[in-house]
Structures are given as C-alpha cells and as structure tokens.
Amino acid sequence: MLKAFENGADGVMVMGCLEGNCHFVNGNFRARARLARVSRILETIGIGAERIRMFNLSAGEGARFAAFVSEFAAEVQQLGPSPINVARQEAAKIPTGEIRV
Amino acid sequence: MKSGSNLEKVLAAGHFSVTAECGPPRGADPDVVRRKAALVKGNVDACNVTDNQTSVVRMSSTAGCMLIKEEGIEPLLQMVVRDRNRIALQSDILGASALGIRNILCLSGDHQKFGDDPQAKNVFDIDSMQLIHMVRTMRDEGVFPSGNKLDGAPQFFIGCAVNPFADPFEIRVPRLKMKIEAGADFVQTQCIYNMDKFKTYLDLAKKEGLHDKVKILAGVTPLKSAGMAKFMKKMVAGMDIPDAVIKRIADEPKERQAAKGIEMCIEQIQELKGMEGIAGIHVMAIEWEEKLSEIIGGAGLLPRPLVE
Amino acid sequence: MITGTPKPIEEILQMLEPYDTIILAGCYGCVTVCRVGGEKEVEILASTIRLAREASGRKIAIREVCLERQCDPEYIETMRPYVEDYQAVLSIACGAGIQFLAEKYMLTPLLPGINTGFLGVTERQGEWAERCQGCGDCVLHLTGGICPVTRCAKSLFHGPCGGSSKGICEVGKDVPCGWQMIIDRLKSLNQMDNYSKLKPYKGWNTSRDGGPRRIVREDMI
C-alpha cells in the first residue's frame, strides 16, 4: 500500500470481499486492520489518512465497483496531489498534472 | 521480653491492646506530625507510622517515628520492601533500633504504579516474609543475614500484616503461619468490614493454634460517609465491604453519616474484643485522628494501661 | 522469543535527520516472529521513511537488508562489503543485535528503530506476553511452572500479596495475579507442600544486578 504512494499514487483503494464472505475466511478483516495501520502511518508523515480507503464488494458487483471508483476518484481530485507528488513536481519544476488514483 | 516495647508489655500482661496509625506529611513540616501526635497521645499503646503508603511520597517513617516519640507516644515503624534493597533495609533496621524504636511492621508495600512516581524502579529485593525473617535473625541471632556478626543486635517487637479478604482465601491462614515461622510476634489485619468472613478466617487460624503463637490485632477503619465506603470497595484491591454495611451508613442523612460510621466502628470493636484469639485492635482512622479518643473511649478501652 | 515494539516514526525521522543514505537492517530471528523487525517490516519502514523524507523535500536513499541474525558475527559480516558506503545503519533487530552491529562496525553510527521489550510468548496472533526475566536461577520446578519473578508485579517469593483480588493483580485489570496462577497450578499438581516452605532470599547476582553476564562453554570453544 505504501509502495503505491511511493510510485506516485495520490490515493489508494483497497478492495476486499464482502465481510463474512471471504474465501480466506478472515483475510478481508486482516486487510482492514493492516489498512488501518497504513492510514495511521500516512497521517503521521503528513500524507493524510484520507488518501487510502477499504471497500468491500462481491465479484459480481460491477456497477458498484464503478460507483466506488468514481466516488473515491472524485474525493482524491478534491484533495489534490499527494505531498509526495507536490514535492516531486516542485523538484522537477513541472506544472501540476493529472491526479492519479 | 524480646524488645521491651510498650506494646509487647501490654500484650504480655494480657491487656486488650490498641494501636492506631499516623501518616506522615507530604512535606518537611514536623508540626504536622506533632499535631497528629497530640490527637493520638494517651489513646494507644503504640502508633504506626506509615512508610510512603500507596507509593505516595511522604516524610520518612523513621523520622515520623522519632517525632511522635518526642511527643511521648510509642512508635511502630512500618517498613516496606518496595523502595529499599536488603542493604538499605538492614541499615535502616539498625538505625531505627539505635534511635529507640522498638516495634516494626514488615510489609511489601503497594506497587509504585499508584503513587507520584509510577516510573520509579521497583526494588522488591526480598519480600515481606523475608523481611520478617531478616529482623528476627538480626535480633535473635545477633548476625546479619550474610552471617557476619552484629556489633549490637537490634531490638524489635516484630509485626506483619495480613489481609484475610484478599484472594485466594485458602492460602490466607497458611500464609499467616509462614509469617509466624519467619518470626512475626504480632499481626495487624487489613480493615475488617466483613465480620462473617473474618470469623471464618479466625476460626481457621485458631484451629492451627496460631492465636497462641502470635498476637492478632484486628484492623478497623471508621467510615466517614457512604461515599467513602463505596469508593474503598471499588478502588482498593482486596477491600471487602458488604453491601449491608454500606446500606447501614447510606440510610442515614448525609450530616449524620460520620457519627453513624463512628458508632458502627465502636460496635465492631466491642464485638472483636469479645472474640477469643483477638489480642487487640488497630484503628486506622485515615486523616481522622481527632476521632480516635471518641472511638477508643467509646469502646471502653481508655485509659490505656501502664505496664512496667 | 525477544519481543519489541516499533519506535514512533517521528522519533525515527528525528534520528535520521543528519543522514541522506542509510542501511535499514532487519533480522530474521525473534523480531521476525513477533512482527517488528523482519523483512516485511523493513519494507514498510523503508517506504514510510522515504515518503516522509520526500514529502519534506529532502530525499533519503535506503538500502534494505535483512540479516539471518544480528546476534551472530558471521551474519553481521555479510554487511561489511558495503556498510561504509552509507552514513548510518538503522536496525530493527533487538537491542542485542543493534549493539553487536555497532561493535563490529566502529565507524558507522547505529540507530535503534525498535524498543526492545521482553522474553515472551505469542499468546495469540498479534499478542505477546512476558514470561521470563532471565534472572539466572530458575525455580519453576517449585512454582508449578509459573515464574514468580516475572508474573508477580512485585516478584514476591511468598505471594500473593494483599492486592490480589479474584485472580487479578492490583497493578491492572488485565494483569492476572501470578501467585493465584501458581497456587491454582500447585493445587492441580498436588504440590501445595512447595507453597508452605519459607524460601531463602533470592540471589540477584545471577541476574543483571551482578553486572553484565557472560556464558563460557569450554566444550564448545
């Protein structure tokens, strides 16, 4: 999850199965707990906890998936580029580009 | 006589003895101790001076003992193993005896977590059982625990504390027995409110003949209010206050609760006095020393006997 | 195993302030098992540091390594070819491993990335608890396999004290009374005789109180 931010993501969505419906029994609960840890790290280092979020849905819910993506992408658009990307853009002296989720 | 202390003499003469306690101040002002001493004087055979109770820093117990001794009260030095290793304990035992303190109560001490300095290192080099043994060895054998000879043995009437209400109940009497084997001459109990449980404890102790080997002083604390009773029940580990006791004081209007607490304490002392195996009482009137003469006098235990 | 907890990231970043190139060294021993200093934790911490530093406008280069054990010289030696190419080593092994690295690489500053905890066990996934203080004079055969030095908050040898209530220690509602456990165990083993014996004062000289300890096994040298 942190690697995604290092690779330039402005926001990260983690998709898990519906709670209670995971093939790996409690894999999605563990993912949620680990995501909570990452979001604390992001908050501490000034990137912001709101840039990462967990979503639960089943494999058959294409429309729901699309809705989640649009919703989160819009939120991240509002937040603007992550401080990492801001720093990189400043370093490279290039104008603010597109938001990456 | 093992120590020649007044408390030892009073008990040896077969009198029902009375002790109280005096918490030293949170500061260096000796007059605080002297004022408390004036309230204690004449009401007791010896007065405990606590050793940083609940790990809250106070004037040292030895200093407090000397201050009340100057006021004409026989001191009883409380000593906990929480703050001192065996080197400091031995040294303080010698020093206290040299200053004429003749009674000692050997305790483990509340964990430092409860006090001013929860970050302090806890010592617990030896435990309270071993402290009893240490004082006894020094007194009776004239040697340090290391085996080296003492240049003058300390003289102490050795006490220990028991809490008949802590868990597990079944080891409470065996543990008292061990303390007696380690060298305890007398025992002061945790404050008693649950008389039924205390009687069960005492019966078990008597079955082992322990009341013949050690002087048992039953601990009592007058309740100032229903609020205090509820607080103690909830917050103090190993404190057993039955609901019926709380109800009795809570049924009184607020302004009458203190008087009721004293009345209940006197009743309790009278009941304890009539029980075989109880050699005296230990009245812990916490920051309420001004009521000692009312309580002890009310129980018919004044004036205190003079024994030579 | 030896357990530990991560140091707060703010504290680590402050330690790293003077440096721009570091080695972040994990350990595949105890700290991997208790999930505080293994390969995965190296990756997470390295990412975190890089992100934080880059966001603050000053990048840092991190070489991520994980040694088999930081407490054995042969594994520490594997870092020798490159260690002096970096300004500092941040280690997330236990205090023993960090110190051993420090004494083998005298010219490189060593920084601790974790706070080393205690000798303990995994009670369940994600939860570790202390069992041993390494006092150097084991009495578990007398105490039903439960250590009074470690499990009693006052390290009493004749417990429990008056602060034991319904199996719980006075220091906290989540702390079981060590002596209640000892007694329960002795009863079930029919060994209560052990309880009622006076025990000699413990010799703490075999513990850390006797000074730093060393074990020499002639047959192994």
Strand B186-191 and strand B157-162: pairing? parallel
d(C-alpha C93, C-alpha C2), whole Å: 10
Other C-beta atoms within 10 Å of B269: how many? 25
- Taking 50 as the pLDDT cut, the residues of chain C under it are none
Element (H, E) at A42: helix A27-44
Q: ipTM greater than 0.90, yes or no? A: yes
Residue of B nearest to C177 (CA): B167
Burial class (CB in 10 A: 0-12, 13-18, 19+), B116: middle
Query: Among residues C95, C41, C43, C31, which one has the least CA distance to residue C68?
Result: C31
d(C-alpha C75, C-alpha C101), whole Å: 10
Q: CA dist C71 to B59, C7, C43, C93, C133, Å?
A: 47, 20, 21, 9, 19
What residue ranges of chain C are covered by domains with CATH 3.40.50.2300?
A: 2-118
CATH number of the domain where residue B78 is located: 3.20.20.220
- B47 and B21 Cβ atoms separated by less than 8 Å: yes
- Taking 50 as the pLDDT cut, the residues of chain B under it are none
What is the rounded end-to-end Cα distance, in angstroms, of chain C?
A: 25
Query: Among residues B88, B22, B92, which one has the least CA distance to residue B59?
Result: B22
Domain C2-118 has CATH 3.40.50.2300: yes
Give yes or no for residue A96 having a pLDDT over 80: no
Return the SS3 of A53.
strand
Residue spans of the domains in chain A: they are 2-92
Tokens of C5: 């907890």
- B31 and B68 Cβ atoms separated by less than 8 Å: no
Tell me the nearest-neighbour CA distance from B126 into chain C, angstroms.
Answer: 6
Residue A20 has a pLDDT of 84
Q: Which residues lie closer than 8 Å to C169 by C-beta, 6 or more apart?
A: C152, C153, C163, C175, C176, C177, C178
Element (H, E) at B281: strand B280-283
Q: Which residue has the tokens 């003992």?
A: B65
Between A20 and B158, where is the model more confident?
Answer: B158
CB-nearest to C55 from A2, A3, A84 is A84
Tell me the nearest-neighbour CA distance from C47 into chain A, angstroms.
Answer: 6
**Within a domain: residue B1?**
no
Provide the pLDDT confidence category of residue A91 given band limits of 50, 70 and 90: confident
The reply to whether residue B177 touches residue C180, judged by beta carbons under 8 angstroms, is no
Return the SS3 of C154.
coil
Residue of A nearest to C52 (CA): A45
Q: CA dist B92 to A34, B6, B78, B87, B142, Å?
A: 55, 21, 11, 9, 16
Give yes or no for residue A94 having a pLDDT over 80: no
Tell me the nearest-neighbour CA distance from C193 into chain B, angstroms.
Answer: 11
Supply the DSSP symbol for B5.
Answer: -
Residue B189 bridge partners (DSSP):
B162
Burial class (CB in 10 A: 0-12, 13-18, 19+), B1: exposed
Query: Among residues C75, C173, C27, which one has the least CA distance to residue B234?
Result: C173
Q: Which amino acid, C135?
A: C
Query: Among residues C172, C127, C133, which one has the least CA distance to residue C149?
Result: C133
CB-nearest to A47 from C13, C44, C51 is C51
Chain C residues touching A41 at Cβ < 8 A: 9, 44, 48
User: C40-72 in b/e burial notation, b at 16+ Cβ within 10 A?
Assistant: ebbbbbbbbbbbbbbbeeeebebbebbbebbbe
Q: Which residue has the tokens 């420090």?
A: C102
Query: CA dihedral in degrees (B289, B291, B296, B302; nearest 10)?
Result: 90
The reply to whether residue C9 touches residue A44, judged by beta carbons under 8 angstroms, is yes
Residue B235 has a pLDDT of 86
Interface of C with A (CB under 8 A): 8-10, 13, 43-44, 47-48, 50-52, 54-57
The reply to whether residue B174 touches residue C160, judged by beta carbons under 8 angstroms, is no
**Within a domain: residue B305?**
no
Can you give the residue range of the structural domain that contains B273?
Answer: 6-298
Instruction: Give the total number of structural domains in chain B.
Output: 1
Return the SS3 of B17.
strand
Other C-beta atoms within 10 Å of A60: how many? 8
d(C-alpha A8, C-alpha C170), whole Å: 51
Tokens of C217: 């096994």
Query: Among residues B145, B159, B36, B39, which one has the least CA distance to residue B90?
Result: B145
**Within a domain: residue B306?**
no
What sign results for the dihedral spanned by CA atoms B28, B29, B35, B37? positive
